[in-house]
Amino acid sequence: MAKTVKQIIDEVKSDALTLLDAKRELMKLQAIEKGVPAGVRGVYYLIMAVIGLTALFFLQVVIALLFAMIFASDLWGAYETVSSMAAGFGCLVGLFLLIELILLLLRKSIIGAVEEKIITKQLDQLEEQEHEEAGEARRETATVTMVADVTDVHGESVIPGTEREDHPVVEVHQYREEDDLRDQ
Q: How far apart are CA 110 and CA 103, in angstroms?
A: 8
Q: Are 58 and 64 in contact (CB under 8 A)?
A: no
172 in helix, strand or coil? strand
Please give the DSSP secondary-structure letter assigned to residue 107: H
Average pLDDT over residues 12-31: 87
Q: What is the pLDDT of residues 57-75, one digit of tens each?
A: 999 988 888 877 776 666 5
Q: How far apart are CA 86 and CA 21, in angstroms?
A: 64
Q: How far apart are CA 15 and CA 20, in angstroms?
A: 9
Which residues are registered as beta bridge partners of 73? none
pLDDT higher at 177 or 78: 78
Percent of the chain with pLDDT over 70: 69
pLDDT at res. 85: 82
pLDDT higher at 78 or 66: 66
Q: What is the pLDDT of residues 97-125, one digit of tens each?
A: 999 999 999 999 998 898 889 888 888 88
Mean pLDDT of the chain: 77
Q: What is the pLDDT of residues 81-96, one digit of tens each?
A: 777 888 888 888 899 9
Nearest to 175 by CA among 167, 163, 183, 166: 183
Sequential DSSP letters for 29-49? HHHHHHHHHHHHHHHHHHHHH
